[in-house]
């Protein structure tokens, strides 16, 4: 069987890396499975893409669709057109999409319109916040895909409530956490560590990139001021997302304690996360990594699609109002932060489980036969 694996943006790369490793391992064991890696080009520069391929040992993509930039609709359309061409030229038995980025949605639509089955990794999670482009991507992807690989029982239950048959829901765990475990003994101290006199347990880590938090400079500066007010005596390491950089360039916010750096590579970021006092973020994936590493995490959003990070993890939903932050920082300073535990099946073996399911469902498809069929397929009009 041939599996086309899609990746487009930063949070996809740590999710596909273990899947590709597991496919390669199954192939080494003599199973008839191969993959084709498609990079849509949604994130394209070295800091948001190239570095992750190098650090996570992801092979060079078989094709880069070079669909970076543009509005939501422009990018969705560009990826759909380019991915349709790719599927016609190299028809797989199944497409794997991960997460909730524009490429996830666009590639799912193109594949389904060509009657190619799609498996969604990280299916069934919902924030309930329809102002997030990611929520729309999740809902549309899950409404038309064929197989649902879920990170929690909660996500599976939500899919069942939405009418998805139990036999298409596969509770496998979290491939992002596979990557975390695979790289824990390879972490790298960032180059600025000594220069900025950082020491373990003494600094906060900050990431912000949700449009609702960073596009308006007044809101962004209110957040930075609230964070600085509540963290006196501590440095704040702030790898600045390109979207946030745009706003900060006009706002020109400076503080000696706020260490603004470019986005850092995965191995450096996890090093920073593992050693920080707490992480303040509006990311989804980082709340999962903080939970597994038992690092206090404050989420600057009103909702989360990952409730397990709050219910049993180290995450607290602070909200999108900068004024909310102070009591949480006080709680941390008093040593009162909860200890978390690790959600079920977040054990580093998720990608193996995914490949087992794929082999069970599509394992009888012969690789060479599939490639012959691919040449005969034309566009459905």
Residues found near ligand UDP in the complex (CB under 6 A) = 10-11, 14, 207, 209, 239, 263-264, 266, 269-270, 283-286, 289
Strand partners, 39: 7, 64
> CB 271 → ligand UDP: shortest distance, Å?
10
CB of 141 or CB of 207, closer to ligand UDP: 207
**Residue 69, exposed/middle/buried by CB under 10 A (0-12, 13-18, 19+)?**
exposed
User: Residue holding tokens 């590493």?
Assistant: 293
Catalytic residue check, 209: yes
- Nearer Cβ to ligand UDP (156/285): 285
Residue closer to ligand UDP, measured from CB, 230 or 285? 285
Spatial separation of the C-alpha atoms in residues 297 and 332, rounded to whole Å: 10
Closest to ligand UDP by CB, 138 or 209: 209
Angle at 349 between CA 346 and CA 350, to 5 degrees: 70
Secondary structure (DSSP) of 123-138? TT-----TTSHHHHHH
Burial class of residue 256 in the structure, from the number of CB atoms within 10 Å of its CB (0-12 exposed, 13-18 middle, 19+ buried):
exposed
Nearest Cα residue to 33 out of 378, 361, 380, 375: 361
Minimum CB separation from ligand UDP for residue 5, in Å? 17
User: Shortest gap between Cβ of 54 and ligand UDP (angstroms)?
Assistant: 12
CB 329 within 8 A of CB 293: no
Q: For ligand UDP, give the closer residue by CB, 11 or 68.
A: 11
First to last CA, the chain: 26
Matching residue, tokens 């060479």? 368
Q: Which is nearer to ligand UDP, 95 or 237 (CB)?
A: 237
CB of 109 to ligand UDP, least distance (A): 20
Nearer to ligand UDP, 62 or 347 (CB): 347
CB of residue 284 vs ligand UDP: minimum separation in angstroms? 4
User: 286: burial class by Cβ within 10 Å (0-12, 13-18, 19+)?
Assistant: buried
Q: Which of 43, 209, 234, 241 is catalytic?
A: 209
- Of residues 258, 226, 229, 262, the one with CA closest to residue 245: 262
- 197 secondary structure, DSSP code: T
CB count within 10 Å of CB 107 equals: 32
Min dist. Cβ of residue 55 to ligand UDP (A): 9
As a whole number of angstroms, the distance between CA 335 and CA 348 comes to 30
Number of C-beta neighbours around residue 355 at 10 A? 25
**Smallest gap, in angstroms, from Cβ of residue 314 to ligand UDP?**
15
Cβ proximity of 170 and 148 under 8 Å: yes
Catalytic residues: 209
């Amino acid at each position: 069987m041939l599996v086309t694996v899609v990746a487009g943006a930063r949070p996809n790369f740590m999710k596909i890396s273990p899947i590709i490793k597991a496919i390669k391992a199954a192939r080494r064991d003599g199973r008839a499975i191969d993959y084709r890696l498609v990079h849509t080009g949604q994130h394209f520069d070295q800091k948001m893409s190239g570095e992750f391929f190098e650090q996570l040992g992801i092979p060079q993509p078989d094709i880069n669709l070079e669909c970076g930039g543009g509005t939501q609709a422009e990018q969705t359309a560009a990826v759909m057109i380019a991915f349709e061409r790719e599927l016609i030229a190299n028809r797989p038995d199944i497409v794997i999409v991960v997460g909730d980025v524009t490429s996830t949605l666009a590639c799912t639509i193109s594949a389904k319109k060509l009657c190619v089955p799609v498996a969604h990794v990280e299916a069934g999670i919902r924030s309930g916040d329809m102002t997030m482009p990611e929520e729309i991507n999740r809902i549309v992807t899950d409404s038309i895909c064929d197989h649902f690989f879920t990170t929690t029982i909660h996500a599976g239950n939500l899919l069942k409530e939405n009418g998805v048959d139990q036999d298409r829901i596969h509770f496998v765990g979290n491939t992002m956490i596979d990557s975390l475990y695979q790289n824990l003994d390879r972490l790298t101290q960032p180059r600025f560590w000594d220069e900025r006199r950082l020491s373990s347990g003494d600094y906060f880590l900050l990431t912000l990139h949700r449009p609702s938090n960073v596009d308006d400079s007044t809101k962004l500066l209110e957040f930075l001021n609230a964070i600085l007010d509540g963290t006196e005596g501590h440095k704040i390491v702030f790898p600045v997302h390109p979207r946030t950089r745009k706003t900060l360039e006009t706002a020109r916010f400076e503080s000696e304690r706020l260490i603004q750096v470019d986005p850092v590579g995965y191995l450096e970021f996890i090093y920073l996360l593992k050693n920080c006092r707490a992480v303040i973020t509006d990311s989804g994936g980082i709340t999962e990594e903080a939970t597994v590493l038992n690092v206090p995490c404050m989420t600057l959003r009103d909702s989360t699609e990952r409730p397990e990070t709050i219910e049993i993890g180290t995450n607290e939903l602070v909200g999108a109002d900068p004024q909310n932050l102070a009591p949480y920082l006080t709680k941390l300073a008093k040593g009162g932060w909860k200890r978390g535990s690790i959600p079920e099946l977040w054990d580093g073996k998720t990608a193996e489980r995914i490949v087992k399911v794929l082999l069970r469902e599509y394992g009888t498809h012969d690789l060479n036969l599939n490639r012959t069929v691919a040449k005969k397929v034309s566009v459905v009009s």
